[in-house]
Amino acid sequence: LLPLTVRMIRLILPAIWFFGMAGVLTGILYALQRFTFPALSSAVYNLGIIVAAPLLAGRFGVTSLVVGILLGSLAQFAMMAWDLRHWLRTVGHAMRFQFDWHHPALRKIVVLYIPIAGIELVSSFQVGLDRRLASGSGERSIAWMQNATTLQQLPLGLISVAIALAALPRLSQHFANRNEAAYRATLGRGLRTVLLLIAPAAVGLYLLGEPITRLIFEHGLFLPTDTAQVVSALHIYLVGMLFAAIDFPLNYAFYARNNTLGPALVGVLSVGVYVVVAFALLDSLGYHGLIWADSAKQASHALVMLLLLTWRVGRLNARTLTSGLAILAAAVGMAASLYVVRLFLQPQLPPNLLGDLLNLAISGSVGVLVYAFLLQQLGVRELQDVVRMVVARLR
């Protein structure tokens, strides 16, 4: 495994530069109030992995995942570089790099970055420990966990990260103006929108995870037994995904207040939770115990962040709670409809690619329609907000 690991590290190194430059471009574009391409960047990155893995798996094996990371990071960077260049041309400017080591903002950036760098080191330790423990729990455990992680990261990037980043400029503005009421309202609206969109994604991945996994990954050496393992891992990861979805806006809410130390300290605590749960469950549950540990980490981080933010800025309005309960009820209704449709539909469909596509198209459409109908009946106003936003983007 060591030569393969070294080769994969060498191949992935350029992605580090692409990631770094994409982060810089994200900050610039958000400062210019250009949200579309940065909001899509995480989804484009994950899409690179999802596309490259099945297409290249037969030729490169597990290295296809690394190629996917490289292609995804490149696409992410190229997309935002194009958007910035387009804006500069529109206003009659050209892109120019200039180094000013004495700029007053530089020291502030360094101070704010120190806690983030610290938690990145701690997170790297946790990821390394996770991989080491997983490698001892089965030959293909790491691959199963990575595939399941890729599936749940796509909605996280497309929904939670995108909404959190879009809310960041307004949160920063409200904090600078000392308008805590507007700050709470913006954060509450962001959390409600995240819950509105992540709930059907979680339901869909849980009930349709098998055909989705089969469609994307079951090619070449990836067998039906691998699909079963990825789906079982995905079901556990989805617990943590729900907490991670609300955790992103909470993190950025702290960043908007120029507070990077709080999230970093909570991150250290959550890694401690992971270590305790991982060693407690590894012997009895194998690599599933590591996934439960990861979900426990996500849950502890999100809950502590929510408590700290409530203590710092006050409670969010009651609408956040009522909308959250309504969204939960609609998601349960969607799950019931998906289960019934799948129960009657699956025996009628051929066990091949066409069958999986029809299953996803029909079941997914019914589920989304039922979810939207229930949201409307329950009076969840965020549904109209999302519809208006989508219509405005399409015009």
Question: What is the average pLDDT value for the chain, to the nearest integer?
Answer: 86
Q: Of the ranges 152-161, 239-248, 379-388, which is most confident? A: 239-248
Taking only the tens place, the pLDDT of each residue in 352-378 is 888 888 888 998 999 999 999 999 888
The enclosing H or E element of 173 equals helix 162-176
Q: Once rounded to an integer, what is the mean pLDDT over residues 65-88?
A: 89
Q: pLDDT-based confidence at 394, cuts 50/70/90?
A: low
Query: Residue 380's CB: how many other CB atoms inside 10 A?
Result: 25
| 380 φ/ψ sector (left φ>0, alpha ψ -120 to 50, else beta) | beta
**Residue 193 C-beta-side C-alpha neighbours within 13 Å:** 23
Confidence (pLDDT) at 1: 64
Confidence (pLDDT) at 38: 82
Taking only the tens place, the pLDDT of each residue in 249-286 is 999 999 999 899 999 999 999 999 999 999 999 888 98
Confidence (pLDDT) at 92: 77
Contact of 292 with 277, CB cutoff 8 Å: yes
Taking only the tens place, the pLDDT of each residue in 112-171 is 889 988 988 998 899 888 888 888 877 788 889 988 998 998 888 888 888 887 788 889
Taking only the tens place, the pLDDT of each residue in 4-44 is 888 888 888 999 999 889 988 888 887 787 877 887 787 78
Query: Residue 362's CB: how many other CB atoms inside 10 A?
Result: 14
Q: Once rounded to an integer, what is the mean pLDDT over residues 40-58?
A: 78
The domain locations on the chain are 1-98, 99-394
DSSP sequence for 231-246? HHHHHHHHHHHHHHHH
Q: How far apart are CA 293 and CA 58, in angstroms?
A: 32
Task: Say which range, 48-57, 178-187, 194-203, has the weakest mean pLDDT.
Answer: 48-57
pLDDT at 395 over 60: no
**Residue 94 C-beta-side C-alpha neighbours within 13 Å:** 2
Q: How far apart are CA 355 and CA 279, in angstroms?
A: 41
Percent of the chain with pLDDT over 70: 97
Taking only the tens place, the pLDDT of each residue in 84-104 is 988 888 887 776 777 777 777
